[in-house]
Amino acid sequence: MKKFLVAFTAMLVAAPSGHAAERIKIGFASTLSGPSASLGVDIRDAFMLAIKMNGGKLGGLPAEVLIGDDQFKPEVGRQLAEKFVKLDKVDFLTGFVFSNIMLASVPIAFENKVIYVSSNAAPSPLAGKQCNPYFFAVSWPNDAYHEAAGEHATQKGYKSAYLIAPNYQAGKDSLAGFKRFYKGRIAAEVYTNLGQLDYSAELAQVRAAKPDALYIFLPGGMGINFIKQFGAAGLARDIQLITPGFSSDQDIIRPVGEAMLGISDTAHWALDLDNAANRKFVAAFEQEYKRLPSLFASQGYDAALLIDAAVRALNGKLDDPEATRRALRAAKFDSVRGAFKFNRNQYPIQNYYLRVVAKDAQGRLVNKTVGTVFRDHGDAYVQNCAMN
């Protein structure tokens, strides 16, 4: 018996490489509780929907998804990543919403040659100098929406723009992204408290400054507060409010309501993008979850499609990280955003669209695509990336 056990173990250890795995294991860690939960929940729901529509498989292998809640805490995210990578030996890691949590958590995956497929956070450090072979962003570079908003404001000929963001690093980065492509005059650049509730003082100053356009980067509840108060102040008649796509998406439209009408925003995806994959996704998501998908949902769905395509191309052989990486870079899948390819830093090159909040045929508030701001747009950091 003992002999048999030893032989059996030896057989397992020495299992020849190149055999197709029997199943694929995904570690999905995201923010699933607390005030910011709706983003992670949308990513998870869409990711699971894609697998369900695929008959419970990814790349032909039965998929097992381990789901964990990072509770909006970097240290919890790190523990989850460690468990998924070291204990559960997942084949891919994905899910994180917030850059700070993702950056704290994924090094453990990199060290163990597990690929992280980012379904949202795509911060500039990992695009440039610290670009990493085990990091793939299937979403959009953190700066991209702000750059597109700046470009849109330039194209539209707004003579002056007033900028508001919270007083922290991401706030400053966002306005820097806007200014990189905006050629008009900056009326003012105002930094507010993180988590601020009342914006009456800022709105009074905006009214006095009379800018053509107002660009805000106020994620989550801050944006909801601001847009509601912007509406109450009656400023929408004279000043065009522009936001990054995630500040005007379904998860913001729901709590704000009618005050959203007419807001312009920029994103790489929209509910009404006219391609077969997107129509199929939107219909399936609405049927499954009885709500409209947000752009976060579209990213979760695409993350699953990307993994599916790569694993299919590998014929289910998951034991060579380098081969997996090449397969991901070359993966061909019908992204719900339309044309999509990876840059050499494994960040996307894609189109960015201008959207306007309006009512659809059923009277619901949704984003309507009205134009293309950037075609095949990459990021500003790729030249610092030494990877090929």
Partner 1 sequence: MSWVLLFEQSLNGLQFGLMLFLLAAGLTLVFGIMDMINLAHGSLYMLGAFFAAALVEATGSFLAGVLLAVPATALAGMMLERALLRRLYARDHLSQVLATFALILVLNETVRIVWGSDRPLALPAALSGPVELLSGLFYPSYRLLIIAVGLAVALLLHLLVGYTRLGMWVRAGAANREMALAMGVNIGTLFTAVFGIGAALCAVAGALLAPLLAVQVGMGENILIVAFVVIVIGGIGSIRGAFVGALLVGAVDTMGRTLLPIALGAFLPPQFASAAGPALASVAIYVLMAGVLFFKPQGLFPARA
User: Footprint of partner 1 on this chain (CB under 8 A)?
Assistant: 34-35, 37-38, 167, 189-193, 195, 197-198, 200-202, 204-205, 207-208, 221, 224-225, 228-229, 231-234, 251, 254-259
3-state secondary structure of 353: strand
Query: Which C-beta is closer to partner 1: that of 21 or that of 209?
Result: 209
Helix axes 295-313, 37-53, angle to 10 degrees: 40
Closest approach of Cβ 365 to partner 1, in Å? 9
Please state, as a whole number, how many other Cβ atoms lie within 10 Å of the Cβ of residue 329: 15
Question: Could you give the CA distance from residue 208 to residue 233 in angstroms, rounded to a whole number?
Answer: 12
Longest dimension (CA), the chain: 86
Q: How far is the CB of 252 from partner 1 (least distance, A)?
A: 9
Say how far apart CA 164 and CA 130 lie, in whole Å. Answer: 29
Pick the closer one to partner 1 by CB: 202 or 308.
202
Least CB distance to partner 1 at residue 357 (A): 14
Residue closer to partner 1 (CB basis): 241 or 307: 241
Q: In angstroms, give the least distance from the CB of 69 to partner 1.
A: 13
CB of 152: closest distance to partner 1 in angstroms? 25
- Of 191 and 333, CB closest to partner 1: 191
Residue 228 or residue 280: which is nearer to partner 1 going by CB? 228
For the beta carbon of residue 113, count every other beta carbon within 10 angstroms.
14
In the bound state with partner 1, the residue whose beta carbon lies nearer, of 11 and 208, is 208
Full DSSP string of 240-269: EEEEEGGGGSHHHHHHHGGGGTT-EEEES-
- Judge contact between 342 and 46, C-beta under 8 A: no
The answer to whether the CB of 30 falls within 8 A of the CB of 40 is yes
Write the DSSP string, 122-161.
--GGGTTTT--TTEEESS--TTHHHHHHHHHHHHHT-SEE
Residue 285: closest CA among 300, 303, 268, 264: 300
C-alpha 327/C-alpha 332 separation (Å) is: 9
Beta-sheet strands, E only, within the chain: 24-30, 57-58, 61-69, 92-94, 115-118, 135-137, 160-166, 185-192, 213-216, 240-244, 264-267, 340-342, 348-359, 365-377
Please identify, using beta-carbon distances, which residue of 208 and 276 lies nearer to partner 1.
208
Distance from C-alpha of 122 to C-alpha of 31, rounded to nearest angstrom: 16
Q: Taken in order 247, 253, 259, 261, is the CA torsion positive or negative?
A: positive
For the bound state, the minimum distance from the C-beta of residue 164 to partner 1, rounded and expressed in Å, comes to 11
Q: How far is the CB of 242 from partner 1 (least distance, A)?
A: 20
Least separation in angstroms between residue 220's CB and partner 1 is 8
193 or 383: CB nearest partner 1: 193
What gap in Å lies between CA 50 and CA 284, rounded to an integer? Answer: 9
What's the rounded Cα separation, in Å, for the pair 158 and 160?
6
* Nearest residue (CB) to partner 1, 128 versus 177: 177
The least distance separating partner 1 from the CB of residue 279, rounded to whole angstroms, comes to: 27
